[in-house]
Amino acid sequence: MNIKHGIQCLLGVTFIISNTLAFAKNDTHAQLKRFAQVYSAIQEKHLYEVSNADMSTHAISGMLNALDPHSEYIPANQFKIDNPADKELHDVQIGIQTMYRKNSPMLIYEVLEDSPAYKAGILPGDLIIQVHNQQVSELSEMAISNLFQQHNSVKLTIFRPSTQAIIQESIERQIIQKNNITAKILDNDILYVRIKEFEEDTIEAFVNKITSTNIERKGKAPTGFILDLRNNPGGIIQSGIGIASAFLPKNTLIVTLKERNQQKTFFNRPADYNFFGIDLLANLPSWIKTTPLIVLSNAASASASELVMGALQDHQRATIVGTQTFGKGSVQEIIPLRTGDAISLTVAIYFTPKNKTIQAQGIRPDIAVSDTIEGNILMAQHEWYLPNHINLNQLDKTPNSISKNTSRIHQFQLGGAHDFQLIQAQKILQNEFYLIGKPNTFLNMTPDYSY
């Protein structure tokens, strides 16, 4: 297609669309003509030739990125993985979860147990300085992700805050089998369950963990229940509704989704957390409704995990312990395009049973306890710091204090023996004296060195 013909087609489409939408208040025709003028100028005068496909893709991506942080364009190669072999390749990783921080080293906040990174001795709290000898602070998040996929092994240069050491490791990529839910009995007969993400089978997996534990205990109720939703980025909303429902009476309001022109309410009823209306929670023991409950939170708890906390907090069923959550209270719909790609579009905001928004607010813990006794390791870029975030209420954004001392930073595995927040949660359940650490202090995780 030559440029002149392409512009004529575009203007023709513009004319048709503008007549179809003539009733609209805004002047669609004028705006599309404006777009066509820019399109033509780029095609005719830019230093480099740009293909029609690239122009269209960049325009779509730009429109979506300007809306809010979670509306985005999804290329065809990322949208759908149908081939099981492709799915396996997609899951070949080293077993870490990281937080991208612009112009800074990348924070490792999770190391999956028995993964290649775990076996190599990588710790939560380690900072990635380089990937394949390229400085992370100078790369975009997408560029870093691509570097992780380029070779069979990933060469990392890491700074370890607890020892001030520089570590170099080449870690072989493998197919990662994620264990999304873990459960164990702690001292004083407290049941600990951690959910890492809300996936399609999370409700069934949760019920299986609880029922098998109940059988092993011959129906004896635990003295307390700790639900760990730290580092849980969310996932499928229905799974979150189901997990919240497990602890609440039937027909209890869980969450309200407010769209542009309507709102939807979801309750503790099978049809609201299961497409087929099957009561997936029917086999849970009765003590799950009454056992004293603590939910652990941190700055990486987001979306569906915040939905769960909001419902349990509003109904006074649980005590939230930890740090303020991320604050993503929006819902995205994936809309496929005819060309095989797709867009993710923000279509709703969700509200807790007491009509409080989570969006750019987060869940504030009932008892604030820092990540470690020295302060918080996980200085997340909360929703309210993201460009173009949806802001329904003004929030006090006074920055917390940042400690400059990195030499004593305590690195630990969530759910492990040295997990400060978990230790305090157990003490709270036992009505013992507990520590809160320094919940308003973030430890300086940017090393002072030249590398």
SS3 417: coil
From 303, 305, 330, 370, the catalytic residue? 303
Helix (H, G, I), strand (E, B) or coil at 118: helix
Can you tell me the distance from the alpha carbon of 186 to that of 386, in angstroms, rounded to the nearest whole number? 38
One-letter identity of residue 436:
I
Q: Rounded to an integer, what distance in angstroms lies between the CA atom of residue 356 and that of residue 359?
A: 9
Pairing of strands 401-403, 441-443: parallel
Backbone phi and psi for residue 412, each to the nearest 5 degrees, phi listed first: -155, 165
> CA 73 → CA 65, 220, 242, 334, distances in Å?
8, 50, 30, 10
Count CA atoms within 13 Å of residue 159 on its CB side: 23
Backbone angles phi, psi at 10, to 5 degrees: -60, -45
CA angle, residues 204, 208, 209, in degrees to nearest 5:
120
| Measured distance CA(193)–CA(183) in Å, rounded | 4
Give catalytic status of residue 137 as yes or no.
no
- Does 404 participate in catalysis according to the annotation? no
Pair type for strands 253-258 and 174-175:
unpaired
Residue 288 per-residue DSSP state: G
Choose, from 126, 228, 314, 419, the residue flagged as catalytic. 314
Query: To 10 degrees, what angle do helices 304-314 and 237-246 make?
Result: 30
Joined together, the tokens standing for residue 447 give 């090393």
CA distances from 377 to 76, 182, 398, 406 (A): 36, 23, 19, 10
Burial label for 261, CB within 10 Å (0-12, 13-18, 19+), is: exposed
79 by DSSP, 3-state: which?
A: helix
Q: Are 199 and 188 in contact (CB under 8 A)?
A: no
- Tell which phi-psi region holds residue 352, choosing left (phi > 0), alpha (psi between -120 and 50) or beta: beta
H-helix or E-strand spanning residue 24: none
- Of the listed 328, 330, 371, 438, which one is catalytic? 328
328 as an active site residue: the answer is yes
Residue positions annotated with a catalytic role: 303, 314, 328
